[in-house]
Structure 1
Amino acid sequence: MENKQELGYKKVPIFEEGVIETSTLPSIEKAFVTITTTGDTNRTFLYIAACTVNIVSFICGTSLGWTSPEIPLLKNLTTSPLEEIISPSQEGWVGSFLPLAAAIGPIGGGVLADKIGRKKSLLIANIPFFVAFLVNFFANSIYHFFLSRFLCGLGIGIIFTALPMYMGEIADDEVRGALGSFMQLFIVIGLCFSYILGPYVPMKTFNLILLTPPVAFSILFGGFVPDSPYYLIQSGRIDEALKALIKFRGCSRASAQKELEIMRTQIEEDSKSKGNFAETFKIVLGSRGLKMALFISLNLVTWQQLSGINIVLFYTQSIFTDAGASLAPEICTIITGVVQIVASGATPLLVERWGKRFLLMLSAIGMGLSQGVLSYFFYMKEDQSKDVSDIGWVPIVSLVVFIITYCLGFGPLAWAVLGELFPGNVKSVASSATASFCWILGFFITNYFGALTSLVGKSGSFGLFTICCFISAGFVYKFLPETTGKSLIEIQAILSGEN
């Protein structure tokens, strides 16, 4: 096999006839190695594994979409299991308890991912959902719903930390971007499931149905899908790691052995600079490339939240009701859910062709334009008290465009980029910090959206989200390099300012 040479670095010995000399491999910080297979790669199991693990993303989606159909039911004594209609304050807390707990979940998620592995962490994260839906089934007090939303948030916080790590570590460079976008696809399928089923079945029946996916995930993922090869090597379980690589790559033992040796070398280098949370954070801040990676990650999730996505997801049906849309709010909500699935399904196909950077900029501009139109609609309807019955279709189209552009970029790709930017020795800490920061923002935005609306109206609120969307497009253009198809070493070299 021909040697590969990274620009600006010395030649790196690669494999000859299935043998790798690990002693000749340079430091991971100084070398770039391209793994090539002998043509026997079959990714069928990899895609099956990606779909199986993302059942838990589907569960996240059902939880995120739960409030849209269920809050209207809690406002009606004939459909609510409570003795009183919930107050606006209680409604706000039902929505915001989830992001509040999701800000706490990543702290434990990062620790669990390192201590017991990505797979067991995801299985543990599945438990709070089962308990939450069970609590909802028996709920007769608003505090039961507070508890269930908090439990869902804990699960989501762990999942948003461990799942991008797992997906980034089981995928090879060529399909990492596409597989990384599966998380968003399955989330929106879950959202649509809640949108379609929630308004038309009794609350108890709906929550009973939601108990099924957590059970299915435990059985399928727990029984048939291996843990991350990276973690297995890190834990000294080399034989298991090799078997996992053979499964995920669908390749020969010799080909898998080559990649395993490269991963072992990376892990050995990572372990030299790995410590506790404070020490690891010092490592990040002491490296130009890692510091830039953290800066990009925090900003991507900041602009994702400031796009107003949680407001749209949690209160879709209420937004359509307030707008006086020309179709029934329940139907409008289902339309947006279906659109989310179609748009998210297109992302894995488009990301390898157009790259993450372009799709993120397109996403930000599209979200900004659509929310600008929605802001102007509410300005005419509420601030100017004009008759908007003839343009009742505007909020539907605006939110459909918002959802399409969000799902093409900032929905899946903010998390996919996070899974690509950090080496293993700092990945859990960086992922935990980023996910916690994301959901802290989500909590404040969700909890205080009502207060913001009272202060500046719906037109002002959506106008603010519009401005944030356009700023995020400028951020991506200025700071984010293209990561699609690049290895960790290439990405770190770019972030460090090297050729």
Structure 2
Amino acid sequence: MSTLPDGICKQLFACFIVSMPLLMAGTTLGWSSPMMEYTLKGTAPVHLTSDQESWMVTLIDVGNVLLSLPAGIMMDRIGRKLSVYLTVPITLAGWILILTARQPWHLYVARFLHGSAMAISLIVSPSYVGEMASISVRGSLALVVELTYASGLLLSYVVGWLSDYETLAIVGAIIPVITGLLMVSIPESPYFLMMVGKPEEAARSLRKLRNCGDEEFEEELEIVRLSVTEDKCKGKLTDLLHRDRAPLIIVLTLAALQMACGASVMEAYASSVLYGTGLSPNASAVIFGLFIVVACVPFALTVDKYGRRPLFMASCVGTTLCHVFIAVLLSQDDAESTSSSLDGWLLLASVCGAEFFINIGLMPVLSVVQCEYFPSDTRGLANSAVVFTITFTSTIMLKIYQPVTDAYGKRANFVGYAVITFLGGLFCYFWVPETKGKSFLQIQTDFETYAWRNGKTRRRNYERI
């Protein structure tokens, strides 16, 4: 594999390791679904009321929100590698608390810690992957980021289905230990090293991530140097709000849409949403998790061939249709007009279909463009704003799910998700530019000259925003 163009195997290995914190994040997020089943059956060591369950689910996003802004600043101060390494002890501490928990507040603290680690991983890991990847595979390597996160969700669903509370906590605690050992082997981001005035170390880092001739290597190193030189001054909030205003508005809209489409609710409340499918809630959640993982494959095969925009719009269309179908099926269920096994299987297929379409565009495309759209001096701040928006929106969606369900039925939630996703598709069509096959420097030049959608449609002036 060492003869692959551009040292793909080296980049894939580094991408996998730096994405391990997202495996931890997926595992911690998915844990809430089997935990609610343990509580319902009385097998959990901590017994929770419905209100306490709601806080247990939501507190992971509270930690995520509070750490999102500091994490972006931290990655520009101490580096990408050390920042993401901090997720290891934080996540491990949370799992130890869960394993030894005897009071609800133990779980609250654990969930807050896991949310804090998730904030760091969601900000730093995609940035590292985008900065170290070759242009030709930058979109495809986002598969690893999404696949590890989705695999974490699936792991929690499977272990939660097949084992007990303690085993799930032990499995969760093993992952950060393995992650800490593996992360020793990866280099720091060459962009960060160049940004802090260490060109020799940046060259060594890039060399470790490539397998190409000297001429091609020098060309890539020069791209890194030019990109960082363009952003030589340390980025400030004013730079983000004025110079990078247009890309910021775009990615924050995509970030809000990512959670407002119902993704966080379906993942956290998987066993509840899938109740009545004819299978046990945890078994249905496992099938649901498999669809999340499988969706990563078509994204990887198409993102660098067809581009970001087509995938995002296809994702919005497919998700909207699935949500409409879910709302129709849930309307029948709420009216108690039918309760056949066929309806149960159709509901399972529709929910899995929605999550499949979400994970071929709405989820992974943001991971790619949030790194591509911004220069290195404001990338950390921008990623913090993205994660803050994601987690703030997710917190709202998680908290209103049960009250809306109690007042209007589950179908009302999915009607709302369908409308939001449809509007998101329109936003992408009119406002999101294509970045396929472009270097960071080319993308910044396009933003500066207001070149929308790679010239394929009429141009729109960013100053209108």
TM-score (norm. length: structure 1): 0.86
Q: Which amino acid aligns with 1:164?
A: P
| Partner residue in 1 for 2:45 | 81
| Partner residue in 1 for 2:7 | 42
Say whether 1:314 aligns with 2:314: no
Distance 1:395 1:479 in 2: 33
The secondary structure found in structure 2 opposite 1:428 is helix
Whether contact under 8 Å (1:70, 1:199) holds in the other structure is no
Alignment of 1:382-461 (within 5 A): 382=334, 384-389=335-340, 390-461=342-413
Say whether 1:271 aligns with 2:225: no
The structure with the greater share of residues assigned to helix is 2
Find the partner of 1:213 among 155, 175, 178: 175
Structure 1 pair 490–265 and aligned structure 2 pair: CA distance change class (3 A): closer
Q: Could you tell me the percent identity over the aligned residues?
A: 27
Alignment of 1:292-331 (within 5 A): 292-321=246-275, 324-331=276-283
The secondary structure found in structure 2 opposite 1:174 is helix
Whether contact under 8 Å (2:226, 2:441) holds in the other structure is no
Q: Give the CA deviation at 1:312.
A: 0.3
Q: Give the CA deviation at 1:72.
A: 1.2
Q: Give the CA deviation at 1:238.
A: 2.6
Q: Which amino acid aligns with 2:33?
A: S
1:372-417 deviation digits (Å, cap 9, x = unpaired)? 11111111111x2212314221111101111111110111111211
Distance 1:334 1:293 in 2: 37
Whether contact under 8 Å (1:339, 1:403) holds in the other structure is yes
Whether contact under 8 Å (1:182, 1:412) holds in the other structure is no
| Partner residue in 2 for 1:472 | 424
Say whether 1:332 aligns with 2:284: yes
Distance 1:285 1:68 in 2: 38
Say whether 1:485 aligns with 2:437: yes
| Partner residue in 1 for 2:185 | 224
Find the partner of 1:128 among 79, 90, 93: 90
Greater Cα radius of gyration, structure 1 or 2: 1
Say whether 1:361 aligns with 2:313: yes
Alignment of 1:43-58 (within 5 A): 43-58=8-23
Distance 1:153 1:199 in 2: 23
The secondary structure found in structure 2 opposite 1:80 is coil
Q: Give the CA deviation at 1:40.
A: 6.7
Distance 1:40 1:393 in 2: 45
Which ranges in structure 2 are unaligned for 5 or more consecutive residues?
456-465
Q: Give the CA deviation at 1:219.
A: 0.8
Say whether 1:146 aligns with 2:97: no
Distance 2:343 2:297 in 1: 30
TM-score (norm. length: structure 2): 0.93
Distance 2:438 2:339 in 1: 49
| Count of residues in correspondence between the two structures | 447
Find the partner of 1:104 among 46, 66, 74: 66
Q: Give the CA deviation at 1:254.
A: 4.8
Whether contact under 8 Å (1:69, 1:317) holds in the other structure is yes
1:226-259 deviation digits (Å, cap 9, x = unpaired)? 0100111223333321121112121244543343
Which ranges in structure 1 are unaligned for 5 or more consecutive residues?
1-38
The secondary structure found in structure 1 opposite 2:118 is helix
Say whether 1:239 aligns with 2:204: no
Distance 2:313 2:227 in 1: 33
1:70-90 deviation digits (Å, cap 9, x = unpaired)? 11102232x0102xx411111
Distance 1:396 1:41 in 2: 42
Distance 2:100 2:318 in 1: 42
Whether contact under 8 Å (2:161, 2:283) holds in the other structure is no
Q: Which amino acid aligns with 2:241?
A: L
Distance 2:371 2:127 in 1: 6
1:14-45 deviation digits (Å, cap 9, x = unpaired)? xxxxxxxxxxxxxxxxxxxxxxxxx9732211
Say whether 1:282 aligns with 2:238: yes
Whether contact under 8 Å (1:99, 1:442) holds in the other structure is yes
